Structure 1
């Protein structure tokens, strides 16, 4: 038998061992980065999170994932009303991220323990945390939600600074000022605090409509810049920090599976929908709720389903 053929098994074994060692090193570095990011949040004395109770997540029938994203104005001390309500949707097959923003003044039926109550959708969080918001969305729009994530005003800037340490590139649509933070119109790199105040501003003629649009602008920038393949080496530590600064039931395994799936895909831009959709709402007022958006729930539920399935 020729000498070259005798050496092949040894070369194959060496190659396999090298691959195994490389994988072990990558796994070790990933675990180290994640724990480093997570532990840094544990030593942050300002990282206070309220107990939000049990969440009964429901999987989608088509294998995609729906995540309830809540921006809380409680600042970690108590359970106030949700400042923003979004549904993040991701399909591992199409690699398409989508985001639905639900206007917080949307008038819906909330299934409280004492019976159905008609009120603004953001009251559901105050009454029963993310679980009641999940039930409210399912009952009104027919959309199942598997996981939740809550970010309060104290944590959001830290998450932005983690995902975009050199600043978040935003083309500010106007001059504005919120709580002493001044932002000028035009392209710029925003710090986490500036991005928060930009997304919160609503003291103009557009009120909540403009605020939701700016929230979507910030979320799109975070996805595009924070999950850039060039930043893949920072991803484990960023995931640890985001996990630590967020109240969530998203399992750790979801991040590498979906995050890497998106990182190394064609990197599709975030698609966005605002609810209520055009032509399905009108202004209303009730003594117990104040100014509200009265909506056609069936039309909006169908709009969300069409958006997710297109």
Structure 2
């Protein structure tokens, strides 16, 4: 077991990851004795074309990188060791100060921000999803954190998990998730609502299957918010419970924010069932649908072109080398199987009320939740974990992996 104190895991340096993408060496072909001059001319021509294309591609790609907003996180206020491994099996336990990490899994925390951050205001995190790129099992994994989950926020006591973003932006949100769930967050990427809409537009919209009630909810929000000058009502067949629709940026944002509402805009006819669990499920479904659409329709050239349009809309601490590695292997990643989960997991929580009257999701079995998320992300690399219930509604200062 090796300990690393780095802020991130550089998956590009891992031998096993490189093996996944290592291409077979071309077999040496017997030399032809005839037409040597013609062969040399063809070789020079092909080489020149390759250099031209690669050179143009690199210039274009580095323009993509330069368009992105890079923001390094401030130093971690909570000391913790990071346990990194490729083959060792760990047991999950509570207490201690060790974060579980792997060279073969890259964890990127995705934030959906309600408004652009300023020096005085971080805004609120409407969405928090951990994207795990698992190069061992060849999977993309999405883990949603319910925003009303009651957790320990370093330096701020106990509160809802989305309060961490309000108090301290990405840095404090990452510290909070690491402290409570014991999983090392390697990188982050943040978009606000306006940028989210622009990203969907850059993708050309998204084709997705929705229920009749979901379609009506989107139309109701467009009506209540007087948005017909920027978007349109979705058309639908009243006789079909589910149907394919094409969402633009505004429509997609309403879908991603749909958790139901009674008498929307004061109109009793605009009443929809749902809760935050439904909303996080829709958010994961939207991401999965976009990835599937890219898998079926996009080439590497088109992916780079999309990245060029999306780049300026994202704030991240991914380094340029990380992005280069990810984009160069994007065609591989989007063909990975996709899995999802939502935290806290079933039967390990209950609704509760704080002393000041807030309704919260109180985790009753922290060991079980940590074990669930560890096994979901790292699979066979972890074992054990408690299944007993605990009356505690907040986490220890740090989560541990032994």
TM-score (norm 1): 0.82
Does residue 153 of structure 1 match 2:222? no
The structure with the largest alpha-carbon Rg is: 2
CA RMSD in angstroms comes to 3.2
Q: Which residue, 271, 279, 283 being the options, matches 2:347?
A: 279
- 1:199 is matched with which residue: 256, 280, 288? 256
Write the deviation string for residues 222-260 of structure 1: whole angstroms up to 9, x where unpaired: 212235463432222221232210111122333443344
Instruction: Specify every segment of 5 or more residues in structure 2 that has no aligned partner in the other structure, as ranges.
Output: 1-30, 77-81, 85-100, 228-232, 237-241, 262-271, 380-402
Deviation at 1:94, TM superposition (A): 3.7
Secondary structure of the residue that 2:329 maps to in structure 1?
helix
Matched, 1:144 2:184: yes
Which residue is equivalent to 2:54? 26
Measured after TM superposition, the shift of residue 80 of structure 1 is: 2.0
Larger mean Cα displacement after TM superposition, 248-257 or 273-282? 248-257
Contact map agreement 1:38 1:237 (CA 8 A) in 2: no
Aligned residues: 295
Q: Structure 1 CA distance, aligned partners of 2:330 and 2:132?
A: 13
Partner of 2:372: 303
- Listed as ranges, the gaps of 5+ residues in structure 1 are 42-48
Pair 246,257 (structure 1): closer, same or farther in 2 beyond 3 Å: same
Instruction: Confirm whether residue 127 of structure 1 aligns to residue 155 of structure 2.
Output: no
Is the CA contact (8 Å cut-off) linking 1:100 and 1:274 kept in structure 2? yes
User: Does structure 1 retain, via aligned residues, the 8 Å contact 2:294–2:334?
Assistant: no
Residues 291 and 334, structure 2, Cα contact 8 Å, conserved in 1: no
Distance 1:120 1:129 in 2: 14
Is 1:169 the counterpart of 2:207 in the alignment?
yes
* Equivalent residue number for residue 140 of structure 2: 97
How many angstroms apart in 1 are the aligned matches of 2:55 and 2:300? 14
Asked if 1:61 corresponds to 2:102, the answer is: yes
**Conserved in 2, the CA contact under 8 Å of 1:224 and 1:269?**
no
Q: Aligned in 2, Cα 1:32/1:127: closer, same or farther, shift over 3 Å? A: same
What is the TM-score with the length of structure 2 in the denominator? Answer: 0.65
Provide the rounded CA distance (Å) in 2 between the counterparts of 1:91 and 1:9. Answer: 49
